[in-house]
Amino acid sequence: MPEAPVFTKSPAGGSSPSPSPQVQELDSLFRDAEQLATDVRSRLARRESADRLVPQLRDLNSAVQSFQEKLGALVPVFDQLPPEDREVIRSLQQSIPELLHLVKDNYQVASSAGLPITGIGGKPYRPQPQRARLAKSKPS
């Protein structure tokens, strides 16, 4: 037997079902990433040391990745989700560009300040393959 929806009071005084736990988790992941991005921004503005900032940047990268993975799992079934879930996801979709801009800007500021960020976000570290040397003589 399916669970009955949980009802919460809306700001207008009516009742509306609350989002599913899955979508509540998605919203929480987004808010966590948003808070971390804001914290990183203020730490960058205070010019904190790399040993304090790099772990924060790693946490931010992990939070954004977790959010993206959870959102990616819901995209294929979006049309089958209850209206309250779709409403939360649509609201998040409107906020995603601002979050991604802040995250990208944080990585650019950190990089320009000389912080070692390669491999923790922004640009993933990928070792470059060595190119094979061309033969000294070409076949005739």
Query: Can you count the helices (H) and strands (E) in the chain?
Result: 3, 2
64 — pLDDT class (breaks 50, 70, 90): very high
What pLDDT sits at residue 89?
94
Q: What is the pTM of this model?
A: 0.70
> What does pLDDT average to over the chain?
78
What single DSSP character describes residue 11?
T
For CA atoms 85, 121, 104, 56, the dihedral sign is positive
pLDDT of 90 reads 94
- pLDDT of the residue at 13: 45
Give which of 52, 29, 37, 36 is closest to 108, Cα–Cα. Answer: 37
- Quick one: pLDDT at residue 29? 95
The confidence score (pLDDT) of residue 49 equals: 86
Q: What tens digit of pLDDT does each residue of 85-132 get?
A: 999 999 999 999 999 999 999 988 888 888 766 655 544 444 445 444
pLDDT at 136 over 50: no
